[in-house]
Amino acid sequence: MLGRRALNRATLARQLLLRRADLDALAAVGHLAGLQAQEPQEPHVGLWSRLTGFRPAELDGLLESRRVVRTQLMRRTLHLVTAEDCLRLRPVHQAMLVARATGTLGRRLPGVDLAELAAAAEPLFAAEPRTLPDVGRALAGRWPGTAARDLGDVLSSLLPLVQTTPRGLWRRQAPARNTTVRAWLGRDLAEGPHDDVLDDLVLRYLRVYGPAATADLRAWSGLSGLPAAVARLRPGLRSFRDERGRELLDVPDAPLPDPGEPAPVRFLPAFDNAVLGYDDRSRIVADEHRGLSVTGARLVLVDGTVAATWTAREREDGGVAVSVQPLRPLSLAERGEVGAEAADLAAFLGDGAPGTVEGI
């Protein structure tokens, strides 16, 4: 049986949060199978918390050279993934993306032929990067009475699109313009069958999030068609039980640190997958604070679990102030460690300008 603390330390180690890794940003994005990126600046913080010596220019270079992209994948949310993962993973997520989009928007799209909509929109996105509402407005005349924003929203799932730079670059604000994967990367999506891709996706999930239950895998990916992949892989997996008696699966060579190993303070960006990547999130966030994980709150890990939230603001002198709001009383030693990490984060957010810490 694996207790919560053992699972916590396993997650931290595999998520590169138990100690910062000496990896480049491209390798880290690939290792993590993507970072949630619906808030375009947040992946920079996620990588800073995980990598030694990370600088925003490194990720910006990967985005501008199109070696990483921001595209809709797991759970129908935007993720920052490698170009290779975009090409391989989008096809296996496509049916889920369309099902979730139509489940949300279907009643607001009466009479809209989705295949016709996609066929009409694809050349518009391919010709030049466009915002979703722009393309919705361009096509709205074909379906009078349907809101352009709803046409654009469903197109984000019907078509394999990527959000283009400069959106997502460090400290840059820009409209969310999209183009097709083919136009941006110059390559087509991987062709089926996709059993090998699904098998690899399960193994990659367990390497980064395991040990985990199949419900956790489904919650992370949004995919319902993974039981066959798990069945194919099961003979090569190890199995545990958690405190609730759930079966947890794992790859045989992934780390299981000593539960007593100290965990450093870590500042997580909004919607970090270290929290969202599970159905049962109790290994990293207490049930009473679970709601914070889906509100966009930025979270602070103390001794491996969520103990505070944080915000940042730019000061008039150009520096950054990081404010910490504890969710429980912090010991003097914890406050010191949180303050030191917050000061480092403020300097990072301010591009090296001295920052300040508030709230603790």
C-alpha pair distances (Å), 297 with each of 196, 199, 360: 36, 33, 18
C-alpha pair distances (Å), 292 with each of 43, 212, 297: 18, 21, 6
Residue that the structure tokens 């970072």 belong to: 35
- Rounded to the nearest 5°, which phi and psi values hold at 40? -65, -25
Separation CA 20–CA 52 (nearest Å): 6
What integer pLDDT is reported at residue 50 of this predicted model? 98
Q: For all residues of the chain together, what is the average pLDDT?
A: 97
What integer pLDDT is reported at residue 47 of this predicted model? 98
Low-confidence ranges of the chain (pLDDT < 50): none
What integer pLDDT is reported at residue 225 of this predicted model? 84
Cα torsion angle, 76, 172, 86, 30, sign:
negative
What integer pLDDT is reported at residue 85 of this predicted model? 98
Separation CA 268–CA 207 (nearest Å): 20
What integer pLDDT is reported at residue 111 of this predicted model? 93
Separation CA 235–CA 98 (nearest Å): 33
Considering only CA atoms, which of 8, 42, 36, 51 is closest in space to residue 307?
A: 8
Q: Which residues of 300-320 are buried (b: 16+ CB within 10 A; e: fewer)?
A: bbbebbbbbbbebeeeeeebb
What integer pLDDT is reported at residue 193 of this predicted model? 84
The answer to whether the peptide bond before residue 193 is cis (omega within 30 degrees of 0) is yes
What integer pLDDT is reported at residue 100 of this predicted model? 97
Percentages (nearest 5) of helix, strand, coil residues in the chain: 45, 15, 35
Domain ranges, ordered by start, for the chain: 1-261, 285-358
**pLDDT (tens digit per residue) in 170-194:** 999 999 999 999 999 999 999 988 9
Cα pseudo-dihedral 93, 99, 104, 105, rounded to 10? 110
**pLDDT (tens digit per residue) in 123-133:** 999 999 999 99
Task: Specify the pTM.
Answer: 0.96
